[in-house]
Structure 1
Amino acid sequence: MAVAIVTGASKGLGRALAVALARRGWDLVLDARTASVLEEAAREARAHGTRVVALPGDVGDGGHREALVAAARELGGLDLLVSNASALGAEPLVRLDALPLEGLRVALEVNVVAALGLVQEALPLLRASGAGTVIAVSSDAAAEAYGTWGGYGASKAALDQLAAVLAVEEPGLRVWAVDPGDMRTDLYRAAVPVDDPSGRPLPESVVPAFLWLLAERPASGRYTAPALLEVAA
């Protein structure tokens, strides 16, 4: 049975992807900060008959990252690590001249440092899998210059670079940075609360792009969900 760790799994894309994986028989270790909401996501995933461990906590905490990997080991190993947990740096987003430096530090800590820390913790299991895979959930803000998205975009650009270098250093793994595109999520509402998100696609609509990657296993690299959806159609 394949095993995945999904961070930021209580809502949005993380939850949608976790449920889709459970539907396909994956055992899961799920992370998020709010225990009650995470447990709701875990119950939804367990309804598909797979083993699901829900561990609330902060991915910035090294002890929590150790616990996530230990839980995967108890389930039999680790085949997939999805770094989806994200911090904006400011809510709502602000221009760089008003961005609190502490907020930028938080975004870098959650989106970059914690993601690398979890990879470091998980590498022995991923290497042993035979099909070890890392998915770093990126953003178009990592590649495009959007006003007010500078801190968040910089952190996601750094995550993209870490993923690219990891792919070079670990050729036995698949390492994909995936930009899911615009989505109707709580993260987006917190970032731009004045915007009407109703026209944006739900996270469930981009999950097939991630499932296509897992099924087809293309080369490591950076992908966008809209492009993958066209290929998968």
Structure 2
Amino acid sequence: MPVAVITGGSKGLGRALAAALAGRGWDLVVSARTAEVLERTAEGLRGHGTRVVAVAGDVTDAGHRAALVAAADGLGGLDLLVSNASVLGAEPLVRLDSQPLAGLRAALETNVVAALGLVQEALPLLRGSRAGTVIVISSEAAAEAYETWGGYGASKAALDQLAAVLAVEEPGLRVWAVDPGDMDTDLYEAAVPADDDEVRPTPESVVPGFLRLLDRRPVSGRYAAPALLDRG
């Protein structure tokens, strides 16, 4: 069975993608900071009959990243790495003139530095897979200028660039930066609580776009999940 590591896997998009992969027979390593929530998610995923290893911890911790890759190795290897864990840098989001610098550092550390550290840890296994794939979760704020989204968007823009360079340096892998679009998640609610009345897509509704990437394996690059669905 193919093996995936998904960070931020206890809820939201991470959980939805993990459930879809489990339904396809993938074995999974899922990560999140809150052990109790993560274990409940893992128990639900095991109901699909696949092997699921839950590793609680923070992706900014090198030891935690090593434990994720070791868990994947214990399942037989690593075919897909999904860097989904993210922090905002300020909750709710604020204009750049009020952006806490400590918050920006935290966003860069989690969204960029830790994502690269996990890739570095995982590369030996990914290179050994016939379908080695890295997915980093991007954002429209990485490419467009939206008021109050500057700190978070800057971290995602940096992540996009890392993914683009990784694709050049590792031509044997598929490396996709995927913008899932606005979703009904705890992260978005924390970012813009004033938008609570807005109806947004569920994470489950955009997961088919990710599955389409995995099925069709287009060239490395930046993709928008909703646009993938629109292509039919």
Instruction: Tell me the TM-score normalised to structure 1 length.
Output: 0.99
Matched letter for residue 106 of structure 1? A
Whether 1:145 and 2:145 are equivalent positions in the alignment is: yes
Residue 195 (structure 1) aligns with: 195
- Report the 3-state secondary structure (helix = DSSP H, G, I; strand = E; otherwise coil) of the residue aligned with 1:199: coil
Gaps of 5+ in 1: none
The Cα of 1:198 is off from its aligned counterpart by 4.6
Q: CA deviation at 1:131?
A: 0.8
> What does residue 44 of structure 1 align with?
44
- The question of whether the paired residues in 2 share the 8 Å contact of 1:65 and 1:117 is answered with yes
Looking at structure 2, the residues matched to 93 and 227 of structure 1 have their Cα atoms a distance apart, in angstroms, of 26
1:2-41 CA deviation, whole Å, 9 max, x = no partner? 0000000011000000010000000000000001111111
The range that moved more, 13-22 or 35-44, is 35-44
Unaligned runs of 5+ residues in structure 2 are none
Cα distance, 1:196 vs structure 2:
2.0
In 2: Cα distance, 1:202 partner to 1:32 partner: 20
Q: Which residue of 2 aligns with 1:82?
A: 82
**Partner residue of 1:24?**
24
Q: Once the two structures are superposed, what CA deviation does each residue of 1:36-95 show, in whole Å capped at 9, x if it has no partner?
A: 111111111110000000001000000000000000000000000000000000001000
Q: How many residues align?
A: 232
Partner Cα distance (1:205, 1:124) in 2 = 33
Two-structure CA RMSD over aligned residues (Å): 0.7
Task: Determine the structure 2 residue equivalent to 1:131.
Answer: 131
Quote the Cα distance in structure 2 between the aligned partners of 1:183 and 1:162. Answer: 24
Other-structure match for 1:93: 93
Give the aligned partner of residue 185 of structure 2: 185
Following superposition, the deviation at residue 194 of structure 1 comes to 1.5
Residue 59 of structure 2: aligned partner: 59
Q: Percent identity?
A: 78
Q: How does 1:157-196 map to 2 (within 5 A)?
A: 157-196=157-196
**Offset of residue 197 of structure 1:** 5.0
* Residues 177 and 222, structure 1, Cα contact 8 Å, conserved in 2: yes
- Residue 194 of structure 2 aligns to a residue whose secondary structure is coil
The answer to whether the 8 Å contact 1:184/1:198 transfers is no
Inter-partner Cα distance in structure 2 for 1:102 and 1:194: 24
What is aligned with 1:103?
103
Q: Work out the CA distance in 2 between the residues paired with 1:84 and 1:154.
A: 16
Which letter maps to 1:7?
Answer: T
Letter in 2 for 1:100: P
Letter in 2 for 1:19: A
Q: Could you list the structure 1 runs, at least 4 aligned residues long, displaced by more than 6 angstroms after superposition.
A: none
